[in-house]
Amino acid sequence: MTYSINRQEREARAEVQLPLRKLLILTILWLLSNSVSAHLFKQQVEQDIQRYSQQQNWLNYDAEVLIWLPNKANHLPACKSTVQYQRATPNNAPIGRVNYLISCTQPSWKLRAHAKVKIGLEVWHAKTDINPNQILKKQHIQLQRGVISRHTQRFITSSQPLVNQRAKRRIRSGKIILPSQLQQRLLVERNDEVIIRAGSGSFVVSMKGKALQNGQLGDKIYIKNLSSGKKIQAKIIASGVVETLF
């Protein structure tokens, strides 16, 4: 009989303690989610990097993130609303030193923090020396893993094809290829003979012309109609092919 009473008391006591433990755990979780912690800040930075990587179509990247929070972050009152993390320069790539403004509306407080971010991913390198005006072929380029540590650093990832683009200047073997070093291959060059297409729908007339300007895909250039001798403006739609503009 004594055993039965003690058991009932223990069960009753456990029922009281269990809700208290749950309440304590929930309270701690709420405080953590509504205060500034290094873990949550780093998590936010990683989310911003992931979002940017999807926009830029990065493949198989890895990120090294080091964060800095001021000492006062440990002494701020718990935020009763949602803690807001805002990048100071949202238009810049989240690479290098990334500054943040962290804020709460209830109670009202703000603080500044930053993260240092390095990105590792495959980018295009010159496999051989590339000369000015050279058209890039597969044998001239290769993908190598590079470390990007500044938001101003320029590079070209594996998702962007480079074959048939033209080098503006010399690129040494082993160097990262920069966007500023390339231009799209000219589909029409000055004095080239081109096909002029005119019409719409199923009715299209083709005639020969002579390019008076260089141009890339989509460029509007002047063409001399070899039949009439007239100078017209046309849009480049393919290599050696233009479409008249009305």
Chain segment 126-181, per-residue pLDDT in tens: 999 999 989 899 999 999 999 999 988 889 998 888 888 889 999 999 999 999 99
Greatest C-alpha distance within the chain: 118
Mean pLDDT, the chain, integer: 85
On the question of pLDDT at 11 being above 70, the answer is no
Find, among 114, 123, 182, 186, the residue nearest to 155 by Cα.
Answer: 123
| Burial class of residue 118 in the structure, from the number of CB atoms within 10 Å of its CB (0-12 exposed, 13-18 middle, 19+ buried) | middle
* Residue 69 in domain: no
* Residue 62 in domain: no
Whichever domain contains 219, its CATH number is: 2.30.30.760
Would you state the pLDDT for residue 95? 96
Find, among 134, 89, 130, 128, the residue nearest to 112 by Cα.
Answer: 89
Angle at 51 between CA 146 and CA 153, to 5 degrees: 35
Would you state the pLDDT for residue 14? 47
Identify whether residues 131 and 175 lie together within a single domain: yes
pLDDT single digits (tens) 68-119:
999 888 889 989 999 999 999 999 999 999 999 999 999 999 999 999 999 9
Whichever domain contains 131, its CATH number is: 3.90.1210.10
Would you state the pLDDT for residue 246? 63
* Residue 213 in domain: yes
Interval 25-44 mean pLDDT: 63
Other CB atoms closer than 10 Å to residue 198's CB: what's the count? 17
* Residue 35 in domain: no
Range of the domain at 179: 122-183
Cα-Cα-Cα-Cα torsion 219, 222, 226, 231, nearest 10 degrees, comes to: 150
Would you state the pLDDT for residue 242? 94
* Residue 5 in domain: no
* Residue 39 in domain: no
Can you list the positions of beta strands (E) in 88-214?
A: 96-105, 108-126, 141-148, 166-167, 182-183, 193-200, 203-211
% of the chain at pLDDT higher than 70:
85
**Number of domains the chain is built from:** 2
Interval 178-197 mean pLDDT: 89
Identify whether residues 140 and 158 lie together within a single domain: yes
d(CA 214, CA 183): 13
Q: Is the pTM of this model over 0.85?
A: no
* Residue 68 in domain: no
Instruction: Tell which phi-psi region holds residue 59, choosing left (phi > 0), alpha (psi between -120 and 50) or beta.
Output: beta
* Residue 203 in domain: yes
Interval 235-244 mean pLDDT: 92
Can you list the positions of beta strands (E) in 54-107?
A: 62-68, 84-87, 96-105
Identify whether residues 127 and 177 lie together within a single domain: yes
